[in-house]
Amino acid sequence: MNIPKHIAIIMDGNGRWAKKRLLPRIAGHKKGVDTVKTIVKYCGKIGIETLTLFAFSSENKNRSDEEVTLLFKLF
């Protein structure tokens, strides 16, 4: 199998994932963090040298102070 040296992931849709399940948005963000942990471990296991995560955009800072604070606590 040909393993790339660098992969990038744009994290998007965690809030929508939670809303679809009638959960608070932060539940979706927590689920996203759990998924990232799994991905990071797997990338290390298969030899990915660099992993880039795009997890917080300039638009995200316009969310409620509460949500932004919770996001940074998760990071």
7, 54 Cβ separation under 8 angstroms: no
- Of 14, 60, 62, 65, the active-site residue reads 60
Respond yes or no: is residue 14 known to be catalytic: no
Tokens (6 digits) for 47: 């030899």
- Of 12, 14, 34, 65, the active-site residue reads 12
What burial letters (b/e) apply to 17-28, b meaning 16+ CB within 10 Å? bbeeeeeebbbb
Respond yes or no: is residue 12 known to be catalytic: yes
**Catalytic amino acids?**
12, 60
